[in-house]
Structure 1
Amino acid sequence: MSPDEHPMTTDRALTSGTNARFAFLVVLILVSSGTMMLDVSASLYGAAGLGCGPVPVDTSSLGRTGNLIGVLYDILYDHLSDECLARFQWAPPIQLVLAWPAGVLALAWGLFRFLSRWKARPGRVVPLSACDQDGEIAALLEQLATETGLINSPKAVVNPAAMSANAVVFGSDSEPVVCLNAGLLTRRTSDPQVFRAVLLHELAHVRHKDVTAAYATVALWRVFLALVLVPYAVWGAMRLAAIFPTPYWPSHAPAAIRYLAIPAFLTVLVYLARYDVLRVREVYADRAAVELGASPQGWAGHRGSSSNRMVASFTELWQTHPRWDRRRESLADPAALIGVRGLPMFLTGASSTVITVAVTSYLMAYRLGFHGLFGPWPGSAVYVLQLLAGPAMVSAVAGIALWRAAAYAVLTSRSAPSGVAAGIWLGGGMVAGELLMGQITGSQWLPARPETLVFPLIAGAAFGWWTTRCAGLWASVWRGRTLFPPMVMTLTAGFLLLASWVQWWQYTGLLYSAGVRFNPSLGREFLTRVDPEIAASHPIMMAMVNITTTLLAAVPLWPLLILAAVALTLTPLLAWTVRPSAGAPRWADGAGPWQAAGLVRLRQVFLPVAFGGLVAWTAVAGVQVYLRGWHIPPGHRFGLFILIQEQLMVLAMVLPAAAVALSVSATVANHRLVLAMAAAQATVLLGFVGLFLNASLEGCVDALAVFRDTCGWRPGSAWGNLGSALGMALVLAAGLAIVVTALTALLRRNNAVQRGANPVARDVSRQGVAVYCVITVAVVMLVIVLRTGDPGGTEAASSTTAAEQGSATLPTTRQMREDLLPHSHFPVPRQVATAVATWRDQGGDVLLRHLIDQWVRLHRVWQGSAQKFGVGRVDLAQMRPVCTDLLTAVRAASGSAPIPEPEAQREWKRALSLAEAGGSACEQVSTDDPPDPQLFADLVAARDATRLVLDRLNSMS
């Protein structure tokens, strides 16, 4: 079917997504207003900011054994002491900061109401009846409103000063006002087609109910500009001017310049995003007007810009209405309207990052995150809000755009877009947002590892690729009246993918970007200490465990990640449960000749899966036989041995799954990605059945018995040990399926078996596919529930097994934490260096300078005394006032915030203690008695310690 035959089908079958984009703008403005004014309020309120933390790292407790991400989180985001918070008020009252977004929202609503009345003021417009003596225009307007489907005709006014043949609708959805220009009234008789087309266009806005959204966004933007962006820019300029003449300018330049770059970037971002959605709104109104009976000739009389196309496209970005040539093209073929363009995707990615970083900084400022002031459930809810706000917005905006493009390709029998290019634009926006907000750069222009910026590009490309493929599949088989149900299901799975990505990036990716790396040699040393005998007798296995543990430490097995991996597979697989039928689907609105899209025979998938499952069973048995041959005594069947066994079992399931995914992606005709992922995870599940049976019946087959020698049915113990391995295998299988599918896609470009090949009808029971999906969901939910309910996971089961064998306990959490501390390319983590610089800026340098001034004065007194009285003699009368001032400086420094770096704080505390002891003795010494030599020893040691502190701080900031 060509677009010319049924040009309006896509408009009715697919949501435009404009409401989601309007909502995205509102969220971006409100969230940004809160966090930006948090910075301003904090500085004006006298907040100490990062000067209160992070506090010196305490490595005495790890929390959950092996929780590497928990270790790094505690290191980089340790909470501040209550004493520091109480003394320095490091964040202003939360009511003050919340007042900004609330004020922006309230004033925007007031401005919105005011603008409606201002545009309709008597001095500007006149009632339609004043220009329509015979009532013909009013009657025509009422007739067209009825044809449009409106219950009540909107109020009509005339702008007598406007001579263009245009009209505009303003007000609200409940009280719309159509304003006709005087020039349009003159065209009523000379060019009735244009007159009718303009009226239907404005009435289409009322029918689409986009009047309130459009003008409310305008009001919100204007208030945001005046109340937030301008004050923030002024504040940023003041901070820039204050820092520029200081010695700290080189290290603070990137952060200071960002204070000006953020409002500039947000201005451009909101302008472009708002104008883009307004242009789309206009095109939809044009198409609705034509659908309601307007002649396309009404758009033919308008001439486009005479400038070249590139200049015209750039100029169009800053206009609320699209070019006339683009509007005429969209009436005939909405491909340009529905196609996924790079700029909106870039803006969506940048906005999502701004929202995520803003919400994170907002919550961390008041310690409201996962480990914050709230209890477990409210804290978790805030944590979810922190991580998932951005992905939800991206799924609603970018996901709908990708869905529309894929469905339109199915409707018009065009080649479906890959979605990769659009996803890269999305990822590019994420990168721009990260660099702007400074979350990964701190006080630098670029992160310590710039190469990690490729991760957002990969995440965006994966989201675009999978969403487009899944949308095309569902659009080809769905028979309902609207595509909304499969679209919601697909976008939910895509949301889980993005949420998993954001969770990884916020708690692992940022650490890599900041320069944190994991040293395999430390892992080797740790594993050797866990069990020296096994490490010495099986060095290859120990090396394998060390490598895989280091790699998997970067992909923590969160329940969300498991859920996302399975959702990405089952969502497209459910398309095989839809009942096939002849003819066009209802959502295509009776489109002409319709070629039903056949699906690949699932026999092509299940046969490799069955073979892969048998291979996995064989591999599991081989692992058991291999481990039994080690003849490990009961006292060593824990710790390192269990870790080796678990990872070998994961490999026994994942490697056959990867081979099956490769086979499926290389042989099936279409939908290779979704089928390869489904095949890989089905292989893992089939292999897990064999693993579960083997563990539950361990001891019944002597050759496979590793932990027990007596036969028995122990499903509970087996599940506790292996549930975590299943979750890990499902995630790895999905990831490997994506990789091998990408590789085979590159190798098959010139192969005859391509998209153009005719697919065959499905041959597998719809009920069978549905049952498989239900069983998979049940198993995965069981894994998630058990993993969430038993934080110890495998470790708890391992310790139970060890206890049964009478073995020693597992390594302590202190050992784990000390061995898993990150190693950086710089002396301290960048967050600590930033905290030290802030401590110095917000009072620390003043304390240092006061103390150093007293050491200089003491040195002069001692030097003068030696010249006047001889070496070894001191003028105590001149020394006592200096000691008094020294004690004053020491007491002021003792009550200040600690230096947020352990070694410097230790020397600082020592310097203050020695200075206080020496100063007190100096004040009390009598001029008649010789001073105690210890007095001078303390003062000299304190002076030297102060110098060490200064050198240490200068090396960091």
Structure 2
Amino acid sequence: MEPAGPGGDRADTAAPGTGPAGGGRAETGLRFALLMTVVTAASITMLDNALAPTPNDTPGDALGCLLAAGIDPDGKNLTNTLVGTSRPEALRECLSGAPEVAYWKGMVATAVLLAVAALVFWWLPRWRERWHRTLPIATVDRDGGLAAELAELREIAGIDPRVRFRVDPARTTAGAVVYGRAGLYTVCLHNGLLVRRGTDPEGFRAVVLHELAHLRNRDVDVAWSSTALWRVFVLLALLPFLFSTGRILVTGLSGRSTSPFWPGAASLLTYSLLSGLVLVALVHLTRADLLRRRELHADAQAVAWGALPAGWNQPEGPRARLRRVGHLLRTHPGWAERRAALGDPDRLSAVGAPQMFLTGVAGSLLVNALEVIPRPAELGGNAWLTAALVAPVLWLVLRRSVLRATREESGLRAGLWLGCGLMVGEWVSGGSSGNEWVTAEPAYLLALPLVGAVPAVWSAQSSRLEAAALRGRVPRALAALLNGLVTLVLLWGGLRWWQASGRFQAMGMTTELDGVRTFVTQKYPGPWQDYAWELSTATAALPTLVELNKSTLLSVAAVLMVLLPLCLHARHPGSGLRVRRTLAAGAAGGLLCWAAFAVASYALHSGRPGTLEERTGAFQYVQLWWLLLTVTAACATTAACVAGASRQHWLLRALLASQVVQLLGYAGIFLAVSADGCLGPMDVYGSHCHWLPANGTIIVKLVLSDSVTTITLFSACGALVGAGVVRGVRRWYGKPGISRARTPRALAPRALTPVAAPGVVPATRWWPALMSGGLALAVSLTLLASTAVLHADGRPDTSSAPSAETRKFLELMDTPPTARAAKVREWQALAWLTKGGLTRIERISGAFLALGDALREAGDQKPGANGKIRLDSKKFSRLCSDVAKEARAAQAYFRVPDTDLQKKWSGALQRLDRSGRSCVSALADDTAAAGEKGGDVFLLSIDGMAAAVGELTLVLQELYARTAPS
């Protein structure tokens, strides 16, 4: 096939971004952006560590604040995490007074690193030309034929005429390379390629068109900018970081370290070194994978421009087997892979397991690296930025595969590989393990594959449904936008849940932290010893329920997960969603839910307390928990069964069925609670038959508040598990799984549309479309209305509840154990004193001394007729109030990092506070001046304050003794 000349009439000359490479250019560009963002974020921490002085020389830096808070380097990771955040205000105040704020220093150094990388990128083309000593084309083109042919190929590719062509006389291979920057691109032809032009002109044209395709696809800018940033990062950040961290680790291993953070910091340092090495491997593997894919896209683009595929019939060479072994490490694919990609149009559109896995690892490293910047991390900015880079990659890869490939793409494989990458990245970064190699509850890490799989499967199946149902650019663009936004929010919600709840549960919070349990038992008092299982499961699930249900965006995304497929089905009822069967399955699940209600009510009835008053509190909470558990389990079970039995759109059908179960479950709760007392052995509260719809409404609201978003997400997870189990069993027994029949990409969806006159729908299609639309409206209104009534029952706003509740739970935690190492106890005591403890004691002593001076001045006065001294009540009330105020301020400071001393410290401050307030109360009515009973209370309060100050002095003396051990 001969390519057309400049004035030819070929119709297959692609426009920018529309050729075979156009679909993958955005995806690879976003992956490069994600990778470079990871490198930039990692450089903040690495540069900060590399530029910092030798740590632990003095507790006067920010590390001293952690020691003062009670951090024990040899202690458990969970305990250190909770202790470090148990006094957030005190920690924030302490860090604000540190000599340097670490992340600012790292950010400034990173900005300098980026500037250096920009300069390197700017000068790389000139350096390359000087290093390789390339020559202009005119020096080897005597008759001008080479320049004319290159100009022809450049016009075919639609490349800017300013692109230069040069020759590298020292390279004898029949290849070429393209480099440069915008406005200064250069295609350098190897000397062997010029020889090939005479013997194989079509091969010559194929190579040149391949290089021009790189220019057309903007591969040069991406590849060379990432190369510049990576080289500068390795030289200025990675190597200094590895050297400084390795030096500290070697010093500790040699036994020469006197730091209190040793040997507890050994695992942290090892994790830091491991993260740096994994980052090197990640960047290299990801760049290699991206560049290999861009090579394949450039091959396809060159063929689309007229290059003959025969130009790729090249021998593999003598090291073909060795090259195949190191395939993942190479930046260029082998000839066999190139020929396979040209022969299989689905190969470029298929979802690759390595690309999804590496994307997941990069996302996990990024979300952990950005935690070094406190304010954005507190607001969830690190999860948003990570999701904003990862979700478009996932969405574009799946969408391209769905719309271009001829095999059905479920998205499950891509999502699971993405989630596995998130899991591996979390382990490598040590975000949930800290100074321990394995988390206390490693099973929670298995939730991360679901974090990647749920949005992936939903996005892929919705894209396929959209392709079958919609025509026209505007409707498809709107549906694609909603698809991408839902995918983004789902991925962000999963990452945010992991940061706020899942990570701490993996640390062991569910088994070691009693704060949630204490909160529940105090708010709902009763005989909790009779409901041990319910209390354990409820307290373990409460953090997840609160975190998932507090986000309005996540609730809206959960609504759209059901609403968008229903709207698409209403537009095109023959899309394969099978609404009638799905509704029938949902109705069966609703009956199952009602049966479970009956069983749970019967069990609660048999063990309910005798009186109505005793049925409140703990028993009421247990009933609510069973109702929530029953609805959620019925929805998830129905979703798993529907997904396992479905061959197409199985997640969408499972979600629709689960919503039907949810609606029927709420209706069952309303009926059962409203008619409570009339149900005989299934009565929970009432003993007399009454119809009380107000009670049913209240209970439905309470169940809704904890199930709006979670039921949809848990149903999606149940669908993934059900589909995976059924397909695994089918594969085990050799039965066919999902149909992989090849179908035309564009004609198959249209072929399903019934033939009818314009604007007329056949009668057999009326009721499915109306039912789909009505069900979509009902589901959306129900879920959105349930979101609106979450706060209508007077319950606190959950948008700010988690942080406040977490703070309350941490306050209920016992004093951390005393550090085992004497050196750690010494540094903890010194840091506690120097970071604010001594200041608090001095303020208390100053307030009490001012009160003593006033008493001595009053004692110098002449007694009255009754032999007593008259005091100035306002003055002494103010002085006593100052003592109580300083005692309360000291209570907000760090706990004393010792169990016994903390008890003495806390008890003395409480007595000092009570005595101060008692003094103020005694002086309120001027009874002390009158010599009445208040005078005795006043004197007793003074004695109490003196005794408390004496106890504080003993604590101070013991802490001083620890700072200078014998």
Q: How high is the TM-score relative to the length of structure 2?
A: 0.70
Report the counterpart of residue 163 of structure 1 in structure 2. Answer: 172
**2:549 pairs with 1:558:** yes
- What is the aligned residue count? 807
> Cα–Cα, structure 1 residues 151 and 477, in superposed 2: closer, same or farther, change >3 Å?
farther
Give the CA deviation at 1:219: 1.0
1:333 and 1:657 mapped to 2: Cα distance?
A: 41
Report the counterpart of residue 428 of structure 2 in structure 1. Answer: 436
Report the counterpart of residue 95 of structure 2 in structure 1. Answer: 85
Cα deviation 1:775-827 (Å, max 9, x = unaligned): 5345434444554899935999xxxxxxxxxxxxxxxx99995699679xxx9
Are the equivalent residues in 2 in contact too, given 1:698–1:712 (CA < 8 A)?
Answer: no
| Runs of at least 5 residues in structure 2 that lack an aligned partner in the other structure | 1-11, 72-77, 742-747, 754-764, 835-889, 910-949
1:501 and 1:128 mapped to 2: Cα distance?
A: 55
Report the counterpart of residue 52 of structure 1 in structure 2. Answer: 65
1:32 and 1:841 mapped to 2: Cα distance?
A: 30
Give the letter for the 1:513 counterpart.
Answer: A
| Aligned counterpart in structure 1 of residue 705 of structure 2, from 714, 719, 724 | 724
Give the CA deviation at 1:733: 3.9
1:724 and 1:97 mapped to 2: Cα distance?
A: 43
2:463 and 2:324 mapped to 1: Cα distance?
A: 29
Q: Report the secondary structure of 1:353's partner residue.
A: helix
Cα deviation 1:406-461 (Å, max 9, x = unaligned): 555xx43x4657634x5444344333323332222222333334444434345445
Give the letter for the 1:357 counterpart.
Answer: N
Report the counterpart of residue 206 of structure 1 in structure 2. Answer: 215
Report the counterpart of residue 810 of structure 1 in structure 2. Answer: none
Give the CA deviation at 1:549: 4.3
Are the equivalent residues in 1 in contact too, given 2:203–2:311 (CA < 8 A)?
Answer: yes
> Cα–Cα, structure 1 residues 840 and 324, in superposed 2: closer, same or farther, change >3 Å?
farther
Q: Report the secondary structure of 1:176's partner residue.
A: strand
**2:40 pairs with 1:30:** yes
Report the counterpart of residue 327 of structure 1 in structure 2. Answer: 338
1:835 and 1:671 mapped to 2: Cα distance?
A: 63
Report the counterpart of residue 303 of structure 1 in structure 2. Answer: 315
> Cα–Cα, structure 1 residues 228 and 150, in superposed 2: closer, same or farther, change >3 Å?
same
Report the counterpart of residue 515 of structure 1 in structure 2. Answer: 508
Report which stretch shifted further, 741-750 or 783-792.
783-792
Report the counterpart of residue 128 of structure 1 in structure 2. Answer: 137
**2:769 pairs with 1:776:** no
**2:294 pairs with 1:281:** yes
> Cα–Cα, structure 1 residues 354 and 489, in superposed 2: closer, same or farther, change >3 Å?
same
Report which stretch shifted further, 620-629 or 657-666.
620-629
1:481 and 1:521 mapped to 2: Cα distance?
A: 55
Cα deviation 1:556-608 (Å, max 9, x = unaligned): 3433454454444445555424537xxxxxxxxxxxxxxxx951421111123
1:701 and 1:179 mapped to 2: Cα distance?
A: 86
| Aligned counterpart in structure 1 of residue 127 of structure 2, from 118, 128, 139 | 118
Give the letter for the 1:358 counterpart.
Answer: A
Give the letter for the 2:421 counterpart.
Answer: G
**2:205 pairs with 1:196:** yes
Report the counterpart of residue 755 of structure 1 in structure 2. Answer: 738
Give the CA deviation at 1:228: 1.0
**2:493 pairs with 1:500:** yes
Q: Report the secondary structure of 1:330's partner residue.
A: helix
**2:327 pairs with 1:316:** yes
> Cα–Cα, structure 1 residues 667 and 270, in superposed 2: closer, same or farther, change >3 Å?
closer
2:822 and 2:487 mapped to 1: Cα distance?
A: 37
Give the CA deviation at 1:837: 5.6
Q: Report the secondary structure of 1:792's partner residue.
A: coil
The within-5 A match list for 1:4-403 is: 17-43=27-53, 48-53=61-66, 75=85, 78-81=88-91, 84-89=94-99, 91-92=101-102, 95-120=104-129, 124-150=133-159, 152=161, 154-244=163-253, 245-246=256-257, 249-300=262-313, 302-307=314-319, 309=321, 311-363=322-374, 369-370=377-378, 383-403=379-399
> Cα–Cα, structure 1 residues 298 and 253, in superposed 2: closer, same or farther, change >3 Å?
same
The percent identity for this pair of structures is 27
Report the counterpart of residue 608 of structure 1 in structure 2. Answer: 585
Give the CA deviation at 1:193: 0.4
> Cα–Cα, structure 1 residues 387 and 169, in superposed 2: closer, same or farther, change >3 Å?
same
Give the CA deviation at 1:339: 3.7
Give the letter for the 1:547 counterpart.
Answer: T
Q: Report the secondary structure of 1:17's partner residue.
A: helix
Give the CA deviation at 1:726: 4.3
Are the equivalent residues in 1 in contact too, given 2:249–2:269 (CA < 8 A)?
Answer: yes
2:184 and 2:724 mapped to 1: Cα distance?
A: 53
Are the equivalent residues in 1 in contact too, given 2:411–2:461 (CA < 8 A)?
Answer: yes
Cα deviation 1:493-514 (Å, max 9, x = unaligned): 3333332322232222322332
Are the equivalent residues in 1 in contact too, given 2:517–2:535 (CA < 8 A)?
Answer: no
Give the letter for the 2:625 counterpart.
Answer: Q
Are the equivalent residues in 1 in contact too, given 2:586–2:659 (CA < 8 A)?
Answer: no
Give the CA deviation at 1:27: 0.9
Q: Report the secondary structure of 2:433's partner residue.
A: coil
Q: Report the secondary structure of 2:329's partner residue.
A: coil
> Cα–Cα, structure 1 residues 268 and 601, in superposed 2: closer, same or farther, change >3 Å?
closer
Cα deviation 1:370-410 (Å, max 9, x = unaligned): 3xxxxxxxxxxxx23122333333323344434444555xx
> Cα–Cα, structure 1 residues 433 and 144, in superposed 2: closer, same or farther, change >3 Å?
same
Are the equivalent residues in 2 in contact too, given 1:167–1:202 (CA < 8 A)?
Answer: yes
Give the CA deviation at 1:325: 1.9
> Cα–Cα, structure 1 residues 476 and 705, in superposed 2: closer, same or farther, change >3 Å?
same
> Cα–Cα, structure 1 residues 13 and 520, in superposed 2: closer, same or farther, change >3 Å?
closer
Cα deviation 1:612-646 (Å, max 9, x = unaligned): 45676787799899999979977667643543443
Give the letter for the 2:364 counterpart.
Answer: T
> Cα–Cα, structure 1 residues 770 and 112, in superposed 2: closer, same or farther, change >3 Å?
farther
> Cα–Cα, structure 1 residues 314 and 816, in superposed 2: closer, same or farther, change >3 Å?
closer
Give the letter for the 1:234 counterpart.
Answer: F
Report the counterpart of residue 915 of structure 2 in structure 1. Answer: none
The within-5 A match list for 1:422-501 is: 422-460=414-452, 462=454, 465-474=457-466, 479=471, 489-501=482-494
Give the letter for the 1:100 counterpart.
Answer: A
Cα deviation 1:632-679 (Å, max 9, x = unaligned): 977667643543443344345345434543553455443323211221
Are the equivalent residues in 2 in contact too, given 1:524–1:543 (CA < 8 A)?
Answer: no
> Cα–Cα, structure 1 residues 667 and 73, in superposed 2: closer, same or farther, change >3 Å?
farther
Are the equivalent residues in 1 in contact too, given 2:901–2:955 (CA < 8 A)?
Answer: no
2:829 and 2:252 mapped to 1: Cα distance?
A: 12
> Cα–Cα, structure 1 residues 948 and 742, in superposed 2: closer, same or farther, change >3 Å?
farther
Give the CA deviation at 1:532: 5.9
Give the letter for the 2:47 counterpart.
Answer: M
Q: Report the secondary structure of 1:178's partner residue.
A: strand
The CA RMSD measured in Å over matched residues stands at: 5.3
> Cα–Cα, structure 1 residues 108 and 603, in superposed 2: closer, same or farther, change >3 Å?
same
Give the CA deviation at 1:293: 0.2
1:357 and 1:834 mapped to 2: Cα distance?
A: 30
Give the CA deviation at 1:739: 3.7
Are the equivalent residues in 1 in contact too, given 2:66–2:84 (CA < 8 A)?
Answer: no
Report the counterpart of residue 576 of structure 1 in structure 2. Answer: 569
Are the equivalent residues in 2 in contact too, given 1:518–1:822 (CA < 8 A)?
Answer: no
Cα deviation 1:41-77 (Å, max 9, x = unaligned): 444698733431386599xxxxxxxxx99x9698568
Give the letter for the 2:194 counterpart.
Answer: L
